[in-house]
Chains A and B, each alone.
Chain A
Amino acid sequence: MRKYIFIVTSLLFLSSYSQSRKNIYFLIDRNDTLIKKQIATQTNEYEGYRIIDETRIVKTSRRSFREKPKDKVLKKGEIWISEGDDVEYETFASYSFSFNRKVDTIISKTYFDSLSIIKDRRKFLDTIKIENIFNLNYIFIEPKNCTEFIMRQAEILTFE
């Protein structure tokens, strides 16, 4: 009975997201150091994954630091601008995904076994690269214990 509830719940979960987009299931390998997981803290509620593509180098930038000269006297109501020119640097390409654990679902091992799940990060990246990454429903799965798994909807992010 319990397994049945898991499956029904899972199907409802998936049907609400499937719509016209194709589902892609990805098992998070906790031992893969190129999958970065960010967990909510007391000061930052964001949660998500960053999956790194080590086969591509991209450029990103960060703001440099300008130190205030010792002899610079600031007037009242004036702030020293500590950011300077942006500095570009090379890094591995990556894809970011956010999730909301409030809508996580628990699935059984049986149901897990019935899904077509990508278990390798490289295979996952190669798969999404040949699709339109915005036309996919990303469903990430993490082991909870020996018989249960956490299934969560992840949303691919873009930055500007």
Chain B
Amino acid sequence: MKVKLHKQIRKFAMDRGYIYIETERWTDWYHNSGNGLSKTHSTFEGLTREVIFSNTSGYSSYQSYPTFEYGGGAYDSNIGANYDGKLSLEERTIEKITERTSVDKIYNNLEGKADCVYQKMVDNKNNINWILENFNDGDTPSQFNLKLVMSTTLGNETNASTIKSGNTFIIKINANTLSSRTTLGLARTVIHEGIHARLREFLFRKGGTVSKNDFPGVYEYYRIYQDNWDHQQMADFYMGTIAKGLKQFDNGQHTDQFYDDMAWEGLANIVDANNRPNEIYTEAWKKLTDTEQNRIKNTIANEKSNGNKTCVK
């Protein structure tokens, strides 16, 4: 009987501005003769290279050392001498990189069907990648993080919410209603909440103020609608974005009209953030005719009842 074990050999190369990592993947083959395993041979499975750049201040004071080191993070004794008497250069480097990459990125803690839908959209080059790009580009242009999490404390009438907490936007997907949600409905929720996060990231990017010179659209909607500004802006200008994302997710199985109609959920009526607990219709919704509104409501209701509720990657 043959047994195979996979192993990885990592090589580090350090320079002042980046860390270069080569990872070799090998399979070791063993023969089980009944008296234990004896190694027969190794096969090379491939090589990946990764370069992680850093612009952290103070990093340039590190010495240049472009030599590879072998074996799971071990390092050459020449550079293994403690850089500052406490941590080795390599440890310092990895610490800096860890610190930097945790500053500004997307943390996906979704589960089950919600995770499946999100992963599927990200992998299939859905426009959710564009919507969330500001959170996934290192520490520029902003310092905001994005977390996607499940929530068991949201009410049954709330599909999801996006809240700001310090430098983090948190998209909470309702875990209690997950089983009854359709995959297309969930995709729309992720896109909708992603746009909330994107718009609010623009609002807060410059600190405590927003200027018409930086983000004229955000400025204008914030000026007019105060706390309801992002829903109103989304209803006016992001319906096409939502519909496009849904069509991409769904591989265009329906008409464009269907995806346009689906995009309206969460944007027809909203809780008035300026005057809770009243509810209001968005200005964009009020411009539609009764016929259009009824068609949209029927489309959404039918999809909720009859849409596919299983996510297969």
Chain A residues with CB under 8 Å of chain B are: 20-21, 36, 38, 44-46, 48, 50, 56, 58-63, 66, 68, 72, 74-75, 77-86, 88, 93-96, 98, 132-135, 155-160
Q: Does B180 contact A (CB under 8 A)?
A: yes
A78 and B227 alpha carbons, distance in the complex (Å): 17
Does A46 lie within 8 Å of B279, measured CB to CB?
A: yes
The B interface, classified by DSSP as helix, strand, loop or mixed, is mixed
Q: How many A-B residue pairs have CB under 8 A?
A: 120
Contacts of B156 in A (CB 8 A): 93, 95, 133
| Interface size classification for chain B | 35 or more
A135 and B265 alpha carbons, distance in the complex (Å): 17
Does B209 lie within 8 Å of A74, measured CB to CB?
A: yes
Contacts of B161 in A (CB 8 A): 60-61, 160
CB-contacts of B157-173 with A (<8 A): 157-161, 163-166
The minimal Cβ–Cβ distance linking B118 to chain A, given in whole angstroms, is: 15
Q: Does B271 contact A (CB under 8 A)?
A: yes
Q: Which of A78, A96, A158 contacts B209 (CB 8 A)?
A: A78
Chain B residues with CB under 8 Å of chain A are: 151, 153-161, 163-166, 180, 189, 192-193, 203-204, 208-213, 219, 222-223, 226-227, 265-266, 269-273, 276-281, 286, 297, 301, 304-305
Does B209 lie within 8 Å of A134, measured CB to CB?
A: no
Q: Which of B157, B211, B273, B305 contacts A77 (CB 8 A)?
A: B211
Contacts of A158 in B (CB 8 A): 157-159, 265-266
Most central of B157, B192, B222 by chain A CB within 10 Å: B157
A105 and B277 alpha carbons, distance in the complex (Å): 28
Q: Which of A45, A81, A85 contacts B208 (CB 8 A)?
A: A81
A73 and B275 alpha carbons, distance in the complex (Å): 28
13 A-B contacts (beta carbon < 8 Å): A36-B277, A44-B278, A58-B158, A62-B273, A77-B213, A78-B209, A86-B163, A134-B304, A134-B305, A157-B269, A158-B157, A159-B158, A159-B270
The minimal Cβ–Cβ distance linking A83 to chain B, given in whole angstroms, is: 6
Does A96 lie within 8 Å of B279, measured CB to CB?
A: yes
Contacts of A133 in B (CB 8 A): 156, 180
Q: Which of A38, A60, A85 contacts B158 (CB 8 A)?
A: A60
A133 and B156 alpha carbons, distance in the complex (Å): 10
A96 and B166 alpha carbons, distance in the complex (Å): 31
